[in-house]
Amino acid sequence: MSWLKRLGLGGDEPPPRSLEHPRDLQPGDIIQFDFTAQPQLRNQGFTVREIWTLDTGGDESKRIYFQLEGVEHNFRLRVVNDREIEVAMELLPDELLQLFDEEAIVELLDVESGTQHLLQTLAPPDELGDTFSGWCAALYRQEGYVTAYRYHHDYRHQQIPDEMGRGEVGCDLAWLVSDDRQHLLEFRIFDGGRTEVHLAVILPLRKIAELWPAGKKGESG
C-alpha cells in the first residue's frame, strides 16, 4: 500500500460517518422509533427518501423536512429543537372529514374569514380509532395564515436564493396548534385549489431509538 500512497493512488479510508442527531440526517439514512403512542411509528424503522425546505417568510422562516418511507406508512419529520421533533402524517380528504366538520374547514380556508379559527374533533381523540390513535387533540387553535414557498432542495447549510423561479412552489399555509402545543394541523393550498393536509405530533427526542447512516444497518463486523 505504501507505493500506492507515493503515487497518490492510495491512502487511509475516511472514517465512517457517525449520526447522533436527526438534524444531520441525509437521504438513505434510517431512523428507528422507540415505543410511541402512535402505532404507525411504534418500534418501526424508516428510510429518509428526500429532504426539502419550506420558507414561511417570518422569524425562523426556514423549515427543513425529512420525508420518511416505511414498509407500510410514510411520514414527514422536522427537528423542532435539540430536544423535540415533529412527525406528521398526511391526511386524505375522507380522513380529514372523519376528524373535523366540513363547514368549519371551508371557513378556515377562506382567507377573508380571518385567522382566529377553532377546529374541534368530531369525537374525543380516544374514540377516533386506531388510525388516529395518539395523533389528535380535541381542540386546535389557528396560529397563522401566510404565503410560503417549498423548495425541493436541502437548504440547511445554504441561504435560500432571493430570486424567484429557483425551483420554489408557492402555497398558502394555514396552521393550528393544540393548547398543550403537542399536536398540530397544517393546510397547504396550492394554485388551482389542490390542498395538502398534515396532522402532526411533537415527540421528545428520546422517542428515537436508533439512527443509522446510509448503508450501515445490517453490516457485519
The domain limits of the chain are 22-212
The torsion angles phi and psi of 109, rounded to 5 degrees, stand at -80, -5
pLDDT of residue 111: 82
At 3-54, the pLDDT tens digits run 444 555 555 666 778 899 999 999 999 999 999 999 999 999 999 999 999 9
pLDDT at 76 over 80: yes
Provide the b/e sequence for 154-166 (b: ≥16 CB within 10 Å).
Answer: bbeeeeeeeeeee
Q: How confident is the model at residue 159 (pLDDT cuts 50, 70, 90)?
A: confident
In which band, very low, low, confident or very high, does the pLDDT at 192 lie, cut at 50, 70 and 90?
Answer: confident
% of the chain at pLDDT higher than 90: 71
Output the pLDDT for position 47. 98
Q: Give residue 220's pLDDT.
A: 39
Average pLDDT over residues 158-184: 85
Alpha-carbon span 65 to 77, nearest angstrom: 6
Report helix, strand and coil shares of the chain as percent, to nearest 5.
Answer: 15, 40, 45
What the block records as the C-alpha cell of 99 is: 376528524
Predicted TM-score of the model (pTM): 0.87
User: In whole angstroms, what is the distance from residue 5 CA to residue 85 CA?
Assistant: 45
Task: Evaluate if residue 134 carries a pLDDT over 70.
Answer: yes
**Please, what is the end-to-end C-alpha distance for the chain in angstroms?**
23
Question: Cell 375522507 identifies what position?
Answer: 94
| Half-sphere exposure (Cβ direction) of 21: Cα atoms closer than 13 Å | 10
Cβ-proximal residues to 218 (8 Å cutoff; 6+ apart), any chain: none
With cut-offs at 50, 70 and 90, classify the pLDDT of residue 217.
Answer: low
Residue 88: pLDDT above 90? Answer: yes
- Decide which of 210 and 7 is more confident: 210
Asked if residue 74 has pLDDT above 80, the reply is yes
Lowest mean pLDDT among 40-49, 83-92, 126-135: 126-135
* Better pLDDT: 43 or 220: 43
Report the percent of the chain where pLDDT is more than 70. Answer: 87
Is the separation of the CB atoms in 163 and 148 below 8 Å?
A: no
Is the pLDDT assigned to residue 137 strictly greater than 50?
yes
Is residue 49 a contact partner of residue 151, using CB atoms and an 8 Å limit?
no
| CA 4 to each of CA 1, 12, 13, 14, 82: distance values in angstroms, whole numbers, following the listed order | 5, 11, 13, 16, 44
**Arithmetic mean of pLDDT over the chain:** 89
**163 pLDDT exceeds 90?**
no
| Calpha distance 209→181 (Å, rounded) | 23
